[in-house]
Structure 1
Amino acid sequence: MKKRNYWPLFFIGIFSFAFSMIIWTINSARKVPVHNDKSFLSSYHDIDRDYNKIAESNIDFEKKYDFNLTINGKVFPLTYSDMFLAQRAIELKSKHKDLFKFGKNSIIITISDKNSDIVLKNLDIKLMVTVPTNDSHTINLNSQDFNYSQDGYKTTFELPYKGNWNITGSVKINSDSGYFYIKSNAI
């Protein structure tokens, strides 16, 4: 009586299982939607390529103008440092926590000339408030959505639910551009 060798069946079984898991992973990944990051209202390819230009543009902008972004009464300078932090880090360490409110929120953008302290008009504002993980709720605001007063450009917007939100955008005066990016949450 000859003894049977089951090792080839064992290897065929492992290979079949591994191959079926590869196929399952590919099919599962294809079903999940892909959402493009729109930091600074550009694709991540453009941000990768132009990051140094953005940083230099902010430095030049801050030399000429005083920038204040007021969200629900809290004032921010021209900043984009939050883009380097995970949402979890914002929740634990950031001064930006609980910035937004479920429901009505207000934004005021004030830019004044450093030499004359005159609040500037004719700004080209592009701003986006969005959920960080997908494009399910995106609020796009531009210059036409803001009303000018002596305090600056003001607008309000509604957040449909509590949770994590990002605000990103740019402000342009003539050929000078300033960029900002803030992560927070709505309570």
Structure 2
Amino acid sequence: MKRNYWPLLFISIFTFTLGMIIWTVMSAIKLPVNEDESFLRSYQDVDANYNTIMISNQIFLKKYDFNLNINGKDFDLTTDDIKYSQRVLEKKSLHKNLLKYGKNDLILVVRDKVTKEKKSVDVLLKVTKSISNKFDILLKNDNFKNNENEYTTSFEITDKNNWNITGSFRVDGTTGSIYIKTNAN
């Protein structure tokens, strides 16, 4: 009588597939999970309130002139980078090489559009790696030197990698949000 080995083939394929499923699950469990906190909110909150955030930015920009200077480069209240992946930014970004490996300087000035006076700002800004929350740099009013409502600070970048700069600025009850993707060079 001739032996039929087809059942052994199907059993080995099934066993291999089951083993790969178990290995995939075990590998995934061991990896850290970093939740996206764009605009210093959970992604669920940003998703539910995205239009509110953008309308608030428009109201903020109608009332105030916003100037954020990072290492000599000026920015307005921008959120354009939120729609791009990190790879797209590496090829097309205007914000490429914004941060430096080592010391970085940041200056913030918000002026009233009508009176041109510098306004007092509640600052909450985070500089974070795009792949990990381990190296987050949280900048609040305590971290800034306030010289007649011109806010200056320095912070240290310890890794040449892709970084996100996100946060909010509150002036007289109006909140503006920023989101910049860049890299440290």
After TM superposition, the structure 1 = structure 2 runs for residues 1-187 of structure 1, keeping only pairs within 5 Å, are: 2-121=1-120, 123-150=121-148, 152-187=150-185
3-state SS in 2 of match to 1:135: coil
CA distance, structure 1, for counterparts of residue 102 and residue 177 of structure 2: 26
Shift of 1:14: 0.8
TM-score by length of 1: 0.95
- Normalising to structure 2: TM-score of the pair? 0.96
2:123 partner letter: I
Residue by residue, what CA displacement relative to the aligned partner does 1:107-131 show, whole Å, maximum 9, x if unpaired? 111111111111112x110000111
Contact 2:77 2:177 in 1 (8 A): yes
- Distance in 1 (alpha carbons) for counterparts of 2:102 and 2:16: 50
Shift in Å, 1:36: 1.1
Deviation by residue 1:21-70 (Cα, 9 ceiling, x = unmatched): 10010000000010111111111111111111111110111111111111
% identity of equivalent residues: 49
Contact 2:119 / 2:149 at 8 angstroms: preserved in 1? no
Structure 2 unmatched ranges of 5 or more: none
- How far the C-alpha of 1:150 sits from its partner, in A, is 4.4
Q: Would you identify which runs of 4 or more consecutive aligned residues in structure 1 move more than 2 Å?
A: none
CA RMSD of the aligned region, Å? 1.1
